[in-house]
Amino acid sequence: MQKQDTISRILCPPLREAVGRMINHTVYPLEEIRLRVNRPAMAYAGRKKMFLTSQGRLSDSEDEGIQVTSAMLEKTLELMSNYSLYAYEQELKNGYITLEGGHRVGLCGKVVADGDRIKTIRFISSLNIRIAHEIIGCADEIMPWIRGAQGIYHTLLISPPRCGKTTLLRDLIRQISDGEKMQVGVVDERSEIAGCYRGIPQNTVGLRTDILDGCPKQEGMLMLLRSMGPQVIAVDEIGRIEEIQAITTIVNSGVKLLCTIHGNSLDDFLNKPGMDELAANRVFQRIIVLSGRKGPGTLEQIYDGEKGDYAVLL
């Protein structure tokens, strides 16, 4: 059964029936379900954002959308958490929970804070259910470009949100782990790469891959370096100064890096605060730019990051 089919089990009955009908009748894969109390349910499929009707159709009219009540949202939360939402208290501090199958649910509501630290979220009023997708083989076109005579290149993927960078990163990890037979360490800070549920990856990331789930990237990279002997370390969405310092340590240790960053172009990377050090030191030997121009994961450019002028390879 496909992952998008399993999502209906954690929805309250009215939504479960509508989503089940929609999955059976649409040719587009379901990407997200957005539920907001006292507002119509929405579904994203094939990059279309529309209202979900009780008949399982996607409509442009908000009047046709299923009105989400507090009781519907509460029942959905109970099903998602197996009636034990308190078991997800640690994840709630980060604003999301990860479900069996690797699906990730973002939550909004009343934030309970202790000074500058978030303790949990109460009175939840919005859910963003992101359906787990993995596309085995989507990195086939990229692999020859990041593999050289000396092994895997330090590689950076640049992409706007929702354009497939995490999906591509996941398949690169799988291919390096299984195809290149290298030890890969993954720091999966937001549980999006491996989609771990109770510590077990729900996505295919390779036989030689170790995952630190829910761990801050800067700490996780150094933990993997000290304890797991990785040949490659992969992280998603770098940007903080502390992460850049950890990346420098990893590079100097001889471990290869796979990273992603938000952006639309090479210039976006070069102009981001804190990235000037990585750019000046030519840390990334391959820089790959993605877009959604022809759908998620559209390959735009590949740059040689070892040369001063960032020569275009593709």
Judged by average pLDDT, the poorest of 89-93, 168-172, 206-210, 259-263 is 89-93
At 261-290, the pLDDT tens digits run 999 999 999 988 888 888 888 899 999 999
How far is the C-alpha of 170 from the C-alpha of 138, rounded, in Å? 9
How far is the C-alpha of 190 from the C-alpha of 209, rounded, in Å? 17
DSSP H helical ranges for the chain:
3-6, 13-25, 70-80, 89-92, 143-146, 165-174, 217-227, 241-252, 266-271, 276-280
Which DSSP symbol is given to 69?
Answer: P
CATH topology of domain 143-312: Rossmann fold (3.40.50)
How far is the C-alpha of 58 from the C-alpha of 140, rounded, in Å? 33
Which DSSP symbol is given to 9?
Answer: G
At 123-153, the pLDDT tens digits run 999 999 998 888 999 999 999 999 988 899 9
pLDDT band at 2 (very low <50, low <70, confident <90, very high): low
Q: Which residues sit opposite 156 in a β-bridge?
A: 259, 287
Task: Give the strand pairing for 147-148 and 48-52.
Answer: unpaired
Do the beta carbons of residue 214 and residue 167 sit within 8 Å? no
How far is the C-alpha of 43 from the C-alpha of 128, rounded, in Å? 10
pLDDT at site 226: 95
Task: Give the strand pairing for 96-98 and 286-291.
Answer: unpaired
What is the domain class of 3-130 according to CATH? alpha beta
pLDDT band at 109 (very low <50, low <70, confident <90, very high): very high
How far is the C-alpha of 195 from the C-alpha of 102, rounded, in Å? 4
pLDDT band at 208 (very low <50, low <70, confident <90, very high): very high
At 20-46, the pLDDT tens digits run 888 777 667 788 999 999 999 999 887
How far is the C-alpha of 41 from the C-alpha of 67, rounded, in Å? 6
C-alpha distances out from residue 217 to 155, 158, 252, Å: 16, 18, 17
How far is the C-alpha of 209 from the C-alpha of 194, rounded, in Å? 10
How far is the C-alpha of 102 from the C-alpha of 200, rounded, in Å? 10
The average confidence (pLDDT) of the chain is: 90
pLDDT at site 47: 67
Place of tokens 């990279």: 221
Domain boundaries, the chain: 3-130, 143-312
pTM given for the model: 0.84
Place of tokens 């529309």: 50
What backbone phi and psi angles, to 5 degrees, belong to 60?
A: -80, -15
Range 269-278, long-range pairs (CB < 8 A, 24+ positions): 269/156, 269/158, 272/239, 274/239, 274/240, 274/241, 274/244, 275/244, 277/244, 277/248, 278/244, 278/247, 278/248
Cβ-based neighbours of 275, under 8 Å, separated by 6 or more: 244, 261, 269
Closest CA to 236 of 204, 256, 262: 262
Q: What average pLDDT does the segment 84-97 reach?
A: 81
pLDDT at site 27: 64
Do the beta carbons of residue 196 and residue 188 sit within 8 Å? yes
At 289-304, the pLDDT tens digits run 999 888 778 999 999 9
